[in-house]
């Protein structure tokens, strides 16, 4: 895996996974996963439900013990250590605030477990509460807080020990849609202000793109791709990543002979010159984002694919179309900014692809 970014050269990774595997009986939840996480960055584990994100996170926390492989935190092998002994904190999906303790007791819990005096613990806890904007809420019970406030308490409780790594498991999933964007930005802000190392789990690619320094895409217990948001979006390593990172249309294509950086790629009647990105000649796929598909009325001329509109939906600021094509035989999802002269269902259209925003991906 060669994803070493500039920031990491020479630095000891905050978290390092070396071929880590976690098995539950027959189920392999995490399969030979390896990655490095640079200190002070926010890295997202992204993937569909059940792909092993939470398990990976819990392996970092020490809530699960690896079946195989090594886990290093800040250069130290922690594979055999329990959660209580790792310098890692976690913000749980349910927040997991202790219901029998007030906000102050919750936040100072870790300090007290370390053996700090009550007054000292309270002083440091108050500091963190101020950081998340909850000064004055010390005596509240968790049940007397809104969802967003509960989450901030959970964050304060997690950062009070100034852990080497802070973990979030789908932190936005219990919030309503309006709050999500705000909380997301708050987490990112806090991470940047305090230079925290954060591992963040989500299944929402938009959220991942918005907050991450780096994204690790997972698929059925393995790492599918690991890179910056831009790399993942613009240069997905596989059909899966391309699809997952933004509803790409995947068109069957054939790669011809390579000419230095590019290759002739034929898709249906079209023949395009595209960067081959190391994909061998033979069958492959083209990832085409819906917004880079252009539809024109009438039958296709040169440079277009013939199709017929099967669905058209008006969404206020844009249109969404589904176009059935014969060669290649598929359905293409397209969006268009022009809402005033929509294509009707049943109309013949020509589908134009913008070579600049098409990516060639290998069959996987």
Partner 1 sequence: MTRPTPHQNTFPARNIGAWLLLAWAGLLILPWYKVEGGFFSFGWLADFAAHGPAVLRGLHDAPWLLPLALPLLAATWLWARRRTAGLAVAGGIALVWMAVEGLAIIHSGWGFGWLAALAGTKGPVQPGMGWGAVIYALSMLMLVAADFAGRGWCKGDRFVIGSLLIVIATLVIFVAYPLLSILSSAVRDNSGNFAPALFTQKLFDANIWSLDCLIGGNRCGVAWNTLFVAVLVGVLATALGLALALIALRTQIRAKWLLRGLSILPIITPPFVIGLALILLFGRAGMVTEFLSHHFGIPRSRWIYGVAGITMAQVLAFTPIAFLVLVGVLQGVSPSMEEASQTLRASRWRTFRTVTWPLIRPGLASAFLISFIESMADFANPLVIGGNYNVLSTDIFFAVVGAAHDQGRAAVLAIVLLVFTLAAFLIQRQWIGKRSYVTVGGKGDGGTPAPLPGGLRIGAYGIAVPWLVLTVVVYAIILIGGFVNQIGRDNTPTLQYFLTAFSVEKGVGGWFLSGSAWPSLTMTMTLALVSMPFTAAIGLLTAYLLDRQRFAGRALFEFLAMMSFAIPGTVVGISYILAFNVPPIQMTGTGLIIIISFVFRNMPVAIRAGLANLGQIDKSLDEASLTLGARSFATLRRVMLPLMKPAIVTAMIYSFVRAMTAVSAVIFLATGRFNLATVYIVGRADVGEYGIAIVYAAVMIVLMMIVLVGIQFFVGERSLGRRREGVDAMPIAA
Residues engaged in binding ligand ADP (CB under 6 A): 24, 27, 29, 47, 49-55
**Residue closer to ligand ADP (CB basis): 243 or 348:** 243
Give the SS3 label for residue 340: coil
**Least separation, in Å, of the C-beta of 160 and partner 1?**
8
Rank residues 52 and 163 by Cβ distance to ligand ADP and give the closer one. Answer: 52
Nearer to partner 1 by Cβ, of 121 and 224: the residue is: 121
What are the tokens at 104? 């102050």
**Residue 202 vs 325, nearer CB to Mg ion:** 202
Closest CB to Mg ion among residues 49, 340: 49
- Residue 136 contact among ligand ADP, Mg ion, partner 1, none, beta carbon within 5 to 8 Å by kind: none
Q: What are the residues binding partner 1 (CB under 8 A)?
A: 61-63, 65, 80-90, 92-94, 96-100, 109-110, 113-114, 157-158, 161-162
Quick one: CA dihedral 14, 83, 108, 133, positive or negative?
positive
Q: 51: which DSSP letter?
A: S
Identify what 61 binds: Mg ion, partner 1, ligand ADP, none; CB under 5 to 8 Å per kind. Answer: partner 1
Cis omega (within 30 of 0) on the bond before 289? no
Q: Name the residue with tokens 């081959």.
A: 276
The token pair at 93 is 């999906």
Strands of the chain (E only): list them. 15-24, 27-37, 42-46, 68-73, 76-77, 88-91, 165-169, 198-202, 214-219, 222-227, 249-259, 262-267, 270-275, 282-288, 293-297, 305-314, 319-325, 330-336, 348-353, 358-361
Nearest distance in Å: CB 364, ligand ADP: 19
54 binds Mg ion (CB under 5 A): yes
- The nearest distance, CB 244 to ligand ADP, in angstroms, is 13
Q: What is the DSSP letter of 135?
A: T
Least separation, in Å, of the C-beta of 24 and partner 1? 10
Residue 59 Ramachandran class (φ > 0 left, ψ -120 to 50 alpha, else beta): alpha
Q: Which is nearer to ligand ADP, 105 or 169 (CB)?
A: 169
CA atoms within 13 A on the CB side of 108: 21
Residue identified by tokens 């009707």 is: 344
100 binds, among Mg ion, partner 1, ligand ADP, none (CB under 5 to 8 A by kind): partner 1
- Output 54 or 212, the one with its CB closest to Mg ion: 54
Which element (helix H / strand E) includes 253? strand 249-259
Does the footprint of Mg ion cover residue 292 (CB under 5 A)?
Answer: no
Q: How many residues does the chain have?
A: 364
CB of 87 to partner 1, least distance (A): 6
Binder of residue 94, out of Mg ion, partner 1, ligand ADP, none (CB less than 5 to 8 A by kind): partner 1
Using CB under 5 A, which of the segments 47-55, 74-82, 270-278, 294-302 binds Mg ion? 47-55
User: Tokens 């584990």 sit at which residue?
Assistant: 45
The phi and psi torsions of 58 (rounded to 5 degrees) equal -70, -30
Residue number closest to Mg ion, CB atom? 54
Smallest separation, CB 74 to partner 1 (Å): 10
Looking at beta carbons only, is 170 or 306 nearer to partner 1? Answer: 170
SS3 for 31? strand
Report the 10 Å Cβ neighbour count for 298: 10
The site for Mg ion (CB under 5 A) is made up of 54
């Amino acid at each position: 895996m060669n994803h070493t970014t500039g920031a990491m050269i020479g630095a000891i990774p905050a978290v390092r996974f070396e071929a880590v595997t976690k098995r539950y009986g027959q189920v392999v939840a995490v399969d030979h996963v390896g990655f490095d996480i640079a200190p002070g960055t926010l890295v997202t584990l992204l993937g569909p439900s059940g792909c092993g994100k939470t398990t990976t996170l819990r392996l970092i926390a020490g809530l699960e013990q690896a079946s195989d492989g090594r886990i290093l935190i800040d250069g130290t092998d922690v594979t055999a250590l329990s959660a209580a002994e790792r310098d890692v904190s976690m913000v749980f999906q349910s927040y997991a605030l202790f219901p029998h303790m007030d906000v102050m007791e919750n936040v100072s819990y870790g300090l007290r477990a370390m053996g700090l005096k009550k007054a000292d613990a309270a002083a440091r806890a108050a500091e963190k509460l101020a950081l998340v904007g909850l000064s004055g809420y010390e005596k509240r019970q968790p049940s007397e807080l809104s969802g967003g406030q509960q989450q901030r308490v959970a964050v304060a409780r997690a950062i009070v020990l100034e852990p080497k790594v802070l973990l979030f498991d789908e932190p936005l999933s219990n919030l309503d849609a309006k709050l999500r964007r705000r909380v997301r930005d708050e987490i990112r802000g806090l991470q940047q202000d305090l230079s925290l190392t954060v591992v963040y789990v989500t299944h929402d690619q938009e959220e991942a793109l918005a907050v991450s320094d780096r994204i690790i895409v997972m698929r059925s217990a393995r790492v599918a791709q690991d890179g910056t948001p831009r790399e993942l979006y613009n240069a997905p390593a596989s059909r899966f990543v391309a699809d997952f990172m933004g509803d790409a249309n995947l068109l069957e294509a054939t790669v011809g002979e390579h000419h230095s950086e590019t290759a002739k790629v034929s898709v249906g009647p079209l023949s395009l010159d595209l960067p081959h990105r190391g994909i061998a000649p033979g069958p492959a796929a083209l990832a085409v984002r819906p917004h880079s598909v252009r539809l024109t009325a009438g039958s296709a001329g040169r440079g277009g694919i013939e199709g017929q509109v099967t669905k058209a939906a008006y969404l206020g600021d844009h249109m969404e179309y589904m176009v059935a094509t014969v060669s290649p035989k598929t359905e293409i999802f397209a969006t268009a900014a022009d809402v005033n002269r929509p294509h009707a269902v049943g109309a013949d259209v020509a589908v134009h692809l913008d070579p600049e925003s098409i990516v060639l991906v290998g069959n996987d």
